[in-house]
Amino acid sequence: MLLAGLVLMALTRAEIIERFRSPVVTQADGLVKVYADCPEDMRREFQSPIARFAADTVQTLYQGLAKKPIRFGKPGIVISVGDVRTNLADVVTSVTTNDGRVVTRLKVKAPGYADLYRLRLEVIRGFYRAVEGRELSEDEAVAAYRQAVPELRVYDERQKLEDWLVGRGTTDDEEGLKLMRRVFEPGKASRRDVLIFASRLYLYPPQRDVRLAGKYESLSFREAAKFGRIDPLTRLVAYQKANDLPVLGGGRGEGLSAAAMAYRTFLLELAAAKKSEEELLDLLEAADTKLNVAYEKCEM
C-alpha cells in the first residue's frame, strides 16, 4: 500500500486521473479484455492492436472448431499492458478461478517488445480453458492453432503425405489415402500438388514377395510399356492404377485433371495389350506433355 502511494505521488494529478480513466478494450464477445496501465501515447499505440491480435486468434480458433462464438458476461482472458519501454519480451501468465470461471491473466510488461509467439500461445491456452474447459500443453496449443489455420493445416498435411509417400513417419496407408484426398484444394493445383501426383506414376506389385515381369519391385510407366504384352501382372496393376489416377488428379484444376485422364488412357491401353510399345509410348508422351503444361501453369 505504501509503495502504491509513493508511485502515485510521483505522478501529477492529471496523470493519475488519466490512468484511472484508461479505457478497457473488450473483444471477442466479451471473452477478451485488455487494460492499459500505461501513458496515453503507449496506450494509443499498443492497447487496440494487442486486443485485435488476441481477438483474431480467438476467432481463428472458433472457426477451426466450427463453433459459434460464445458471449461472455465476464472475461476469460484478461491482458494488462504495462509501461516498460525497454526490450523486455516477457509475457507473464497466471490462471485464477473466480466464481467457477477460469480466467487467464496475461501481463505484457513492455508492449513494444513483447514476445508475440508467447502471447498468442497463452491466448490459445486461455481460449481452451474458457471455451472448451480444457488445459492444453504448449505443444497441444501449437497443434490446435495450426489445425485451425487453413494454410498451416494444409502445409502440415502435405508434409505428412510426402513423408508417407517415401516411407517416412508413422502415417499408415488408410490415413495416407485420406490425406491424399484432402490436402489438395478443390479446383486448384499448386506445383507441389503436381509433383506429388508425378511421384505416384509408378506401378508396384500387389505383394512384396512378387515381382513385375518376374524381377522388378516397381516400374515407371515408360518401363512398363515394354512388358504390357508379355507380363499379365504388369497389365493387372496397370488396370488397377488406371482407376486410381482420376482420384489422385481429378478436381484439382483442369490441367492436372486432363493429365490424369491422359495417363489413365495410357494405362488402360497397356492393360488391354492391343497396342505396340511405340503406340503406348506415344500415349505416354501426350500425357507427360499435359502434366508439364499443368506444372507450368499452376501456382507455386
Q: Do the bridges between strand 101-108 and strand 77-81 make them parallel or antiparallel, or are there none, so unpaired?
A: parallel
Rounded Cα gap, residues 162 and 198, in angstroms: 12
Tally: H helices and E strands in the chain = 12, 7
- The separation between CA 226 and the C-alpha centre of its own chain, rounded to angstroms, equals 42
> Which helix (DSSP H) or strand (DSSP E) does residue 236 occupy?
helix 232-249
Burial grade of 30 (CB within 10 A; 0-12, 13-18, 19 or more) = middle
CB atoms inside a 10 Å sphere around CB 145: 21
**CA distance linking residue 54 with residue 60, whole number of Å:** 10
* Helix runs in 21-149, H state only: 40-64, 116-127, 138-148
Could you identify the residue written with the cell 500505461?
Answer: 38
- Residue 298 is predicted with a pLDDT of 65
Which H helix or E strand runs over 277? helix 277-297
Q: What is the DSSP letter of 73?
A: S
Largest Cα separation within the chain, whole Å, is 98
Give the residue carrying C-alpha cell 508379355: 230
142-145's contacts with Cβ under 8 Å and 24+ in sequence apart are: 144/61, 144/64, 145/57, 145/60, 145/61, 145/64, 145/120
**For each of the chain's 300 residues, which pLDDT tens digit applies?**
434 444 434 556 555 555 545 568 888 899 999 988 777 777 778 888 899 999 999 999 998 898 999 999 999 999 999 888 888 888 999 999 978 889 999 999 888 888 999 999 999 999 999 999 999 999 999 999 998 887 778 778 777 877 777 677 787 877 877 776 565 555 566 777 777 788 788 888 887 778 898 888 888 899 999 988 899 999 999 998 888 887 766 555 678 888 889 999 999 999 999 999 999 999 999 999 988 888 877 655
CA distance 291 to 300: 15
CA 84/CA 110 separation, integer angstroms = 4
Residues 281, 210: Cα–Cα separation, whole Å:
26
Point out which residues pair with 77 in neighbouring strands: 32, 104
- The pLDDT of residue 4 is 42
C-alpha cell at 98: 473466480
